[in-house]
Amino acid sequence: MTSRVARVLLCLLACGCAGTRGQPVVQSVSAAGPVALSIPAGVTVAEDGEQLRALLADPSGPSEIWLRARRYTGDFEITRKLSLRGERGASLYGTGHGTVLRVHADEAVVDNLLISHSGQRHTSEDAGIQAKGRGIQIRNVRVEDTLFGVSLGQCPRCVLEHVQVQGPGEAAPLKGDGIKLWESDDAVVRQCQVDGVRDVVVWYSRRVRLEGNRVTHSRYGSHFMYAHDSVVRDSQIENNVVGIFVMYSARLHLEHNVLAGARGAAGVGIGFKESDTVDAHGNWIVANTTGVYLDETPRSENARVLFSANHFALNDVALRFHGVREPLQFVGNAFEHNTTLADVEGGGDALAARFTGNHFSDYAGFDLDGDGVGDVAYQVKRLSGDLISSQPALAFFQGTAAMSLLDAVATAVPIFASRLLLEDASPSFVEIKP
C-alpha cells in the first residue's frame, strides 16, 4: 500500500479530512452553525416569540431584528427584506407542525440561529427553513430535529454558508433532504455540514456551486438532476450510500473532493446517468463498493467526459460501465489496490473509453528507456469478469484467491482467454503524485 493511500485511510478513520487542491489530504471543513455574536447597540431586539412574530408581520417594521440567547417558540415567517440575527444561544423552536421558519422575500438574511422541531409531513416538506426569493442569505445556522433541513425553491443567487444540518435518527426513506435546491440558479452552498439526512439535492438549477462542504451518513451526498453548469469542489463526502450522483445534466465540474466509504450493494463514489461534458479532476475515490459508475455517459456525440488526476484506491470495483461511449477519457489517474479495476454490465468491453498515461499498481511491465512510460501496454483481460457478468451470483467470490487463480489460468492457457476489456497504451511507470 502506498504512503498516500495510507494517509487518506488514516484521515478517514479519524473522522475524515476533505480534499485540498494539490494535496492528498484536505483540511477539515470549518465549523458550521452559530458563533459568538453580541447584540449591537440601537438595534431592535425581540424578547419572545410573540413579539418576534409581530415585528416580522409589520410591513413598516425594522430592517434588522436581533434575538437574545433564549428559545423563541412558534412558527415564523419573513415576508419582506430584513435581517434576522441572534446572539449565540438564540433558537427558533417550532410547534411540531409545519415549517419552523418560512422566508418569502428577496435579499432576506438569516444569521446565527439554532432552528429545530418542525412537523413531520412529507407532503408539505416540513422543514427547519423553507425559502423562496432572490438573493436570500442563510449563514451560521444549525438545523436539527426537523424533517427537511433547508429547502430552497426558486431561490436564484441564494447563499448557504456555515450551515449545519443534523438529520433525525430514522431510516433513510423516512427522512427528508438535508439541503434541497429547486429551480435555484446561481446558488452557492459553502462550508456546510450535513449528517444523517436523506439527500443533498440540486434539481432543475443551473450554475450551482457546492464548495468546501462535508456530507456524511446519508443516502446521496449530492444528487444533481437537470442541473447544468455546476461545480462540486473541495468537499468531503464519505460514508454515504452514494457520494455524488449526476443525472441528465451537462457541464459538471467535480474537483478535489474526497468520496469514500460508499459501501453496500448500491455503494457508488461518483455515478453518472446520461450526462454530458463532465470534468472530474483531482478527486480521491477511496474504499467504495464502486468507485465510478457510468451509465450511458456521455449521452451525446462530441460531449467530452474526462477523468484526470484522480486517485482510485481500495474500491471493490474502480470503474463500472453500463454502455461505453466515446469520447470518454481517463488521463493521468492513479489506480491503486482496487479489487477489480473495471466491470462492464451485461458483458462486452470498455475499449471505447480512452486510457492515457494512467498509473496502475498492478502493472507488470517495464521501462527500459527510463522515460517514465511503460514500454508495454497495460491491458485488462479477465475471464472472471466475463463469468460474473453472465452469472451475477459469482460476484460473491470476487477478489478471492479462486478468482485470481482463474484469471491466471486464462492468461497462461489461451483456450480460456477472455476478451480484452480495456487498454492503456502508455501507462505511467512512476507513481502519480497529487
What pLDDT score does 103 carry?
98
SS3 128: strand
Q: Which helix (H) or strand (E) holds 202?
A: strand 199-203
Is the per-residue pLDDT at 23 higher than 50?
A: no
What does the pLDDT read at residue 300? 85
Residue 149 in contact with residue 143, Cβ under 8 Å? yes
β strands within 256-316, DSSP E: 258-260, 268-273, 276-281, 284-286, 290-295, 305-308, 311-313
Instruction: List pLDDT tens digits, range 105-139.
Output: 999 999 999 999 999 999 999 999 999 999 999 99
Of all residues in the chain, what percent carry a pLDDT higher than 70?
Answer: 84
User: Cα separation of 91 and 10, whole Å?
Assistant: 37
Q: With 70 as the cut, is the pLDDT of residue 202 above it?
A: yes
Q: Per-residue pLDDT for 2 more than 60?
A: no
Residue 318 pLDDT > 50, yes or no? yes
Average pLDDT, the chain: 88
Cα 309 from Cα 301, distance rounded (Å): 24
Contact 153, 132 (CB under 8 A): yes
Model pLDDT, residue 299: 87
User: Residue range 137-162: average pLDDT?
Assistant: 98
Mean pLDDT of 9-38: 57
Mean pLDDT confidence for 249-267: 96
Task: Give residue 306's pLDDT.
Answer: 96
The pLDDT score that the predictor gives to residue 411 is: 56
Distance CA 434, CA 429 (A): 15
Amino acid 173: pLDDT: 74
Given a contact cutoff of 8 angstroms between Cβ atoms, the answer to whether 71 and 93 are in contact is yes
**The predicted structure's pLDDT at residue 348:** 80
pLDDT reading at 433 higher than 90: no
User: Which residue did the predictor score with more confidence, 168 or 268?
Assistant: 268
Task: Lowest mean pLDDT of 114-123, 191-200, 378-387, name the range.
Answer: 378-387
55 in Cβ contact with 65 (< 8 Å): yes
Return phi, psi of residue 130, to 5°.
-115, 130
Omega prior to 62 cis, within 30 of 0: no
Q: Which of 27-36, 66-75, 319-328, 352-361 has the lowest mean pLDDT?
A: 27-36
* Domain map (residue ranges) of the chain: 3-424
Q: CA–CA separation, 200 vs 177, rounded Å? A: 6
Residue of higher predicted confidence among 19 and 60: 60
- Residue 150 near residue 132, CB atoms below 8 Å: no
Assess whether pLDDT exceeds 80 at residue 142: yes
Q: What pLDDT, on the 0 to 100 scale, is given for residue 21?
A: 38
d(CA 159, CA 236): 19
pLDDT higher at 410 or 10: 410
Q: Is the pTM of this model over 0.85?
A: yes
- Distances 39 to 107, 306, 355 between C-alpha atoms, Å: 21, 50, 59
Q: Name the β-bridge partners of 304.
A: none
Res. 327: pLDDT tops 80: yes
The span from the CA of 374 to the CA of 216, in Å, is 39
Residue corresponding to grid cell 484526470: 308
Q: How does pLDDT run across 24-42, given as a tens digit for each residue?
A: 444 456 678 899 988 999 9
Q: What is the CA radius of gyration of the chain?
A: 25
Q: Which residues pair with 237 in a beta bridge?
A: 215, 259
The three-state secondary structure class of 88 is coil
Q: Thinking of the domain 3-424, which architecture would CATH place it in?
A: 3 Solenoid (2.160)
Q: What is the mean pLDDT of residues 302-310?
A: 93
Please tell me the predicted confidence (pLDDT) of residue 394.
57
Beta carbons within 10 angstroms of residue 303's beta carbon: 18
Q: Over pLDDT 90: what percentage of the chain?
A: 74
Give the range among 140-154, 202-216, 373-387 with minimum mean pLDDT.
373-387
Span 375-398, average pLDDT: 68
